[in-house]
Amino acid sequence: MNLDLIKTLNVANTLGEGVLWDDITETIWWTDIEGKKLFSYRFNTENLQFHELPERLCSFALIEKSSHFLAAFETGLARFDPLTQSLEWIEKIYVKGAGIRLNDGRVDRQGQFWVGGMLEGGGQNEHPELASLFCYSGKKGLSVKEKGILISNSLSWSPDGLTLYFADSPRNVIFAYDVSFETGDIKNKRIFATTPPGVHPDGSCVDAEGYLWNAQWGAGHVVRYAPNGTIDYVLDIPCPQPTCVSFGGANLDHLIVTSARLDMAPADAITYPHSGDLFIYKTPTKGLKEQRFKI
């Protein structure tokens, strides 16, 4: 398999994350968490814009029949319109500045939004219970699905929605769970894949063949895993800290990769000038349509 890099957006994000494809407007959306900006790139017109944010936006989701986002800000969930800056808080979860915040999030095949927390700095001392994985349903509200997490990442689902993939990045493990389509409960937690020391699994997505694509922080590549957890393909990225992946384009045959320049040494920033940029690759495989949150 060969993937061609067809476009680099020179945005120099501090911590680019949460990338997704809006098939209705043909737009790539992603967040620079530490820069407190939401970026958009119109695929056909090549129009690149960004919107200032009231606090760090960690992940977000498209909403059915709405121009608003379901936004996972650092302290909780809100409905947010980047054009008007209107914000309606749904649920406050964490206290700002307390060393723990929300992080990776994505919508499952049933239209529910899953988001996990993460510890920052000395957060483990202040929050010995660690972070949690949450599921927010338009019908059932917010529920806790998993506890004892350091940094939540890699939320994605198999094409049939019956397998959840989830990583606790500092532990260098991507887990798989069985999902009950009736109740949304998860069980049978198991190791799907592991990464070497110093290589941390970050954001993921699943393609139409059921293969998991994972951005690997510290390694400078994206790995495609077969459904049995074996490595199928490794894509080298021109920076050491790729962060998240998504499929986009009219035929869902473009792989979109965000990256970061967070805490990079000056020498490394010179060696890898594209750190923090967004990369678009043409792929021989196709992705799946991004799920929208169901109110």
Contact of 108 with 291, CB cutoff 8 Å: yes
Per-residue pLDDT tens digits for 210-251: 999 999 999 999 999 999 999 999 999 999 999 999 999 999
Contact of 78 with 95, CB cutoff 8 Å: no
Which residue carries 């035929």 as its tokens?
251
What pLDDT score was predicted for residue 97? 86
Q: What are the chain's domains?
A: 4-282 (2.120.10.30)
What pLDDT score was predicted for residue 224? 98
Task: Please state the three-class secondary structure of 148-175 as a single string.
Answer: EECEEEEEEECCCCCEEEEEEHHHCEEE
Whole-angstrom Cα Rg for the chain: 17
Residue 129 scores a pLDDT above 80: no
Q: Residue range 268-288: average pLDDT?
A: 96
pLDDT tier for residue 1 given thresholds of 50, 70 and 90: confident
Residue 128 scores a pLDDT above 80: no
What pLDDT score was predicted for residue 124? 52
What pLDDT score was predicted for residue 15? 98
Strand partners for 217: 200
Q: Residue range 83-110: average pLDDT?
A: 94
Token pair of 35 as six digits: 């820069």
Contact of 73 with 31, CB cutoff 8 Å: no
Which residue carries 């059915």 as its tokens?
64
Per-residue pLDDT tens digits for 164-186: 999 999 999 999 999 998 888 99
Angle at 65 between CA 159 and CA 278, to 5 degrees: 60
Q: What is the strand order of the sheet 113-119 is part of?
A: 100-107, 113-119, 131-137, 141-149
Q: Residue range 140-158: average pLDDT?
A: 96
Residue 27 scores a pLDDT above 80: yes
Q: How far apart are CA 117 and CA 86, in angstroms?
A: 24
- Distances 109 to 21, 192, 195, 295 between C-alpha atoms, Å: 16, 20, 27, 14
